[in-house]
Amino acid sequence: MIKLLENLGCDVNYNPNQTCCGQMAFNSGFWDEAKALGEKFIKDFDGNHYVVSPSASCTGMVKKQYPKLFHNSSLHNESKHLQSSIYELTDFLVNVLNRTDVGAEFNHKVTYHESCASKREYGLTNQPRLLLSKVKGLELLEMEEADSCCGFGGTFSMKFEGISTAMAQQKVERALATGAEYLVSTDSSCLMHIDGYIQKNKLPLKCIHIVDILAANLA
Looking at the chain, the whole-number percentage of residues with pLDDT higher than 90 is 75
In this prediction the pTM is 0.92
Answer CATH for 109-214 from 3.40.50, 3.40.630, 1.10.10, 3.30.300: 3.40.50
5-24 residue pLDDT tens: 999 999 999 999 999 999 98
Give the pLDDT confidence score for residue 210 in this predicted structure: 97
- Residue 119 per-residue DSSP state: I
CA distances for 83 relative to 86, 87, 118, 186, angstroms: 6, 9, 16, 19
Mean pLDDT of 195-218: 95
Give the pLDDT confidence score for residue 151 in this predicted structure: 65
> Of all helices (H) and strands (E), which one includes residue 133?
helix 127-133
User: How far apart are alpha carbons 218 and 155 in whole angstroms?
Assistant: 36
**pLDDT above 80: residue 150:** no
Average pLDDT, whole number, for the chain?
92
Domain residue limits, the chain:
2-94, 109-214
When pLDDT is cut at 50, 70 and 90, the band that residue 186 belongs to is: very high
User: How far apart are alpha carbons 119 and 116 in whole angstroms?
Assistant: 5
CB 85 within 8 A of CB 51: yes
Q: What angle do the packed helices 31-44 and 76-85 form, to 10 degrees?
A: 70
**pLDDT above 90: residue 147:** no
**pLDDT above 80: residue 194:** yes
When pLDDT is cut at 50, 70 and 90, the band that residue 160 belongs to is: low
**pLDDT above 70: residue 37:** yes
CA-CA-CA-CA torsion for 156, 162, 164, 166, nearest 10 degrees?
Answer: -170
* Of 54, 85, 33, nearest in space to 189 by CA: 54
Residue 161: half-sphere exposure toward Cβ, Cα within 13 Å: 2
